[in-house]
Amino acid sequence: MFERDAQGLRERLRAALHQPVRRDTGAFDRSVTERADLSRLGGRWFETPLGPAYVIESVYDAGHYHGEVPLRRALALPLGRLAQQVRDARLAELEPARLRFVDTETTGLGGAGTMVFLCGVARFEGTELRLRQYLLPGPEYEGGLLGGLGEELEEAGGLVSYNGKAFDIPALETRYVLARMRPRLRDLPHLDLLHPNRRLFKGAFSSHRLAVVERELLGFEREDDCPSAEVPERYRWFARTGDPTHILPVLRHNAWDVLSLVALAAYLGSSCDDPGRPLQAARAAAYAGDWLEAARRYEAAIAQGLPRAERLEALERAARAYQKAGAWEQAAACWERLLAEPRSRRVAPYVELAKLRERRLGDRAGALALMEEVVALAERGLVRPGSGEYGMEALRRRLERLGG
């Protein structure tokens, strides 16, 4: 009697909330290893010291193109140049074959509750790129995933990721710590491509999300891709039912992510020295502290033609780079070119050129003339004083000192 009343109450509540009545769907397999159709994923089970694990392997020839970039370009990755961009000298000592290109997919719960259910790891073996995707068929097999991934990374010399320092690696480390294991992930040199990409291609496109970068730099368009927002839900349905149709799009999404890491590393590495991209090469040289090379690259970029805003920025960066290199005459010439720009209302070129003339070029009279001019222009509102040494009070003090 009570059971019938409870059933009736549930149905009345569902009707009030406009929810469909649940039908008996039968029990579902919690241990998806027992489902025969798991083999349709194309992977294999293997044993690790921490239990069974499941992996899907794919092999790509080095001539495979990801967008417009052949994977073979990563075999000659200029790790010395890229090491400068992430300030990790250990990377410069590695061969590309010792790198592991890593991307994860998670349940997206946040904090310690986030589980890594898929980790794609690629490495070069000879002239082939081998991609292994370690999949978590169910939470009870996490030990196997961690064990298999640990063995995969045991011989790694360094990691390559995209935002991996902030996301992928901390997520994996959390799972290892909860399993009372000490991973060597944090000890490895790490080339996080997000940072050099932002630095070299600042302002080049609207977003630095990997999908945007793929399209803009690699010429790779994802067709019928699984949106990132759907990934956790697809995994939950797969873990519940074992139906591979839920997880196959996620496997493809992850594989594309990893291939993009390989192609993007090659692309960014070449951009550090590419005469066809002098602005990116200049930024790379400046970040590495090669000031004279950076200044020359900025001037080459200006000579090739830049929009006005980029041209003014490049001229100023060239001037400052020449100053840091001790090339005073060249720095002064860049500041003079900035002063000659029509409709320029900036104070910095006057002050910096005055400093150079006074301190480096022995031209105190020329420095005084510049300060007289900029103060007069500022008082008439024809230039905009800034802050600090470019503020109005600082300009007057410098003028008074030079005229004393």
pLDDT in tens, 31-79: 444 433 567 888 998 899 898 999 999 999 999 999 999 999 999 999 9
- Give how far Cα 113 sits from Cα of 63, 92, 109, 124, 237, Å: 40, 36, 6, 33, 18
Q: How far apart are CA 47 and CA 38, in angstroms?
A: 17
- Residue located via tokens 């991209």: 277
Half-sphere exposure of 342 (CA within 13 A, CB side): 0
Total domains present in the chain: 2
Residue 160, φ and ψ in degrees, nearest 5 = -125, 130
User: For residue 278, is it within any domain?
Assistant: no
User: For residue 279, is it within any domain?
Assistant: no
Q: What is the CATH number of the domain that holds 216?
A: 3.30.420.10
Q: Could you tell me if 69 and 155 lie in one domain?
A: yes
Q: Could you tell me if 297 and 399 lie in one domain?
A: yes
Q: Could you tell me if 186 and 297 lie in one domain?
A: no
- With a cut of 50, say whether residue 178 has pLDDT above it: yes
User: For residue 397, is it within any domain?
Assistant: yes
User: For residue 12, is it within any domain?
Assistant: no
Q: Could you tell me if 107 and 68 lie in one domain?
A: yes
Q: How far apart are CA 316 and CA 314, in angstroms?
A: 5
The DSSP H or E segment spanning 61 is strand 51-61
User: For residue 281, is it within any domain?
Assistant: no
> Domain boundary at 271, 304, 336, which?
271
For residue 39, the model assigns a pLDDT of 73
- With a cut of 90, say whether residue 16 has pLDDT above it: no
User: For residue 284, is it within any domain?
Assistant: no
Q: Could you tell me if 142 and 77 lie in one domain?
A: yes
For residue 385, the model assigns a pLDDT of 92
Q: What is the CATH number of the domain that holds 312?
A: 1.25.40.10
Please give the average per-residue pLDDT across 110-131, as a whole number: 90
- Residue located via tokens 């519940």: 240
Please give the average per-residue pLDDT across 141-168, as a whole number: 95
Q: Could you tell me if 185 and 51 lie in one domain?
A: yes
User: For residue 245, is it within any domain?
Assistant: yes
> Which of 277, 213, 220, 258 has its CA nearest to residue 81?
277
Q: Could you tell me if 246 and 385 lie in one domain?
A: no
List, for residues 348-388, the tens digit of each pLDDT value.
999 999 999 999 999 999 999 999 999 999 999 999 998 99
Please give the average per-residue pLDDT across 123-152, as a whole number: 94
Q: Could you tell me if 185 and 221 lie in one domain?
A: yes
Q: Could you tell me if 245 and 312 lie in one domain?
A: no
Q: State which residues form the domain around 335.
A: 291-403
Centre a 10 Å sphere on the Cβ of residue 232 and count the other Cβ atoms it contains: 17
- Residue located via tokens 């951009």: 271
Poorest-pLDDT segment among 66-75, 76-85, 109-118, 267-276: 109-118
CB 116, CB 106: distance < 8 Å: yes
Q: Could you tell me if 233 and 307 lie in one domain?
A: no
The pTM score is 0.85
Q: Could you tell me if 243 and 295 lie in one domain?
A: no
User: For residue 191, is it within any domain?
Assistant: yes
Residues β-bridged to residue 130? 59, 123
> Domain boundary at 236, 271, 306, which?
271
CB 133, CB 257: distance < 8 Å: no
Q: Could you tell me if 164 and 309 lie in one domain?
A: no
> Domain boundary at 271, 304, 339, which?
271
